[in-house]
Amino acid sequence: MEMKRCISSLTLEQLTAELKAMGQPGFRAKQIFHWVHQKLVTDFSAMTDQPKALLARLEEAFYIAAPIIERRQEAKDGTVKYLLRMADGNCIETVVMRYHYGNTVCVSTQVGCRMGCRFCASTQAGRVRNLEAGEICSEIYTAQKDIGERISHIVLMGIGEPLDNFDEVMRFLENISSPEGVNIGMRNISLSTCGLVPKIDRLAEKKLQLTLSVSLHAPNNDIRSGMMPVNDAYPVEVLMQAVRRYQETTGRRVSFEYSMVRGVNDSDACARQLADLIRGMGAHVNLIPINPVDGSPYSATDAANVRRFQQKLESLGVNATVRRRLGSEISAACGQLRRDEMNGKA
């Protein structure tokens, strides 16, 4: 028996081709795309302007990604964290963060992760599979329907390495930014990578208007390789060359994520090395007080030390901000809810 395919993963162009092959007029594709990506239906029977015979054929060949909310946690600051169960039973995490400029959703791009960063709960059980474009879209649609408010911004910083799932993430970006769908502009989207250099170069070629956010977390190879195994494949100097190429090609400013770990990467010497590393890039550094993760050898730098590190960077001409700690009382560390569910603690 042929497996059903995820219709919400198809771009409008791909959907048009599929319907044409079924002998359907082109305008049907746009109507169905609207139903899935604008009206956010999860059932073909809800597409009231489509012929019943066509809906029956679609039902036979396709499904619409519609995860089940397995767990929902809401913090005092309005942050909502979801454990979502996908159609195959695997779980991922999605987070809604409320800011003065609108609602941001942090999405997962893989079930698990194989990058092995030692301060992250997402990677502790490895990668199970990539998420499809439609499944990533469905995280946003599920959250938007649950909170009853529009999602205006997206960060691809949840479970998984987005550039390790390159093709599906590119299709997701096309669908989510489509004027025929929820139409979230590329300038309201941030994509985070731990530093897969060949994929950064591929992304640069696409000249998208999104913000590339590089998970740097250390200013030299010794410290970074201890925290992030990816650094053995793409050392700091190789990564920084790729980031500079990306900036030249796209004209977009890059931001750097820097998780503050007590006694590891939070010294004045580290601040000086970091300033030297990114000098002349006009880049922004986002300092992150890490959330504690069971099984990780790392602990968070205290707030006073984070502030001192920020001031040191600013005195060296680096634009640095401290990320607001949102939802700290609701298993805020990325991958923590999923791991608890896998370990039977949920």
Name the token pair of 321: 């901000």
Q: Is 9 helix (H, G, I), strand (E, B) or coil?
A: helix
Helix axes 197-206, 166-176, angle to 10 degrees: 30
The residues annotated as belonging to the active site are 93, 334
- What's the order of all strands across the beta sheet hosting 102-106? 68-74, 80-85, 91-99, 102-106, 151-156, 189-193, 211-215, 255-260, 284-289, 319-322
Write out the binding residues.
113, 117, 120, 160-161, 192, 215-217, 291
Half-sphere exposure of 235 (CA within 13 A, CB side): 4
The DSSP line for 298-336 is --BPPHHHHHHHHHHHHHTT-EEEEPP--STTS--STTH
* Strand ranges, E, within 1-150: 5-6, 62-63, 68-74, 80-85, 91-99, 102-106, 110-112, 127-130
The DSSP line for 165-232 is GHHHHHHHHHHHT-TTTT---GGGEEEEES--HHHHHHHHHHT-SSEEEEE---SSHHHHHHH-THHH
Write out the binding residues for [4Fe-4S] cluster.
113, 117, 120
Give the closest residue to 33 by CA, choosing from 69, 1, 4, 9: 9
Neighbours of 296 (CB within 10 A): 17
Give the closest residue to 234 by CA, choosing from 200, 282, 284, 272: 200
As a dihedral over the C-alpha atoms of residue 104, residue 128, residue 142, residue 63, rounded to 10 degrees, the angle is: 140
- Residue 235 near residue 213, CB atoms below 8 Å: no
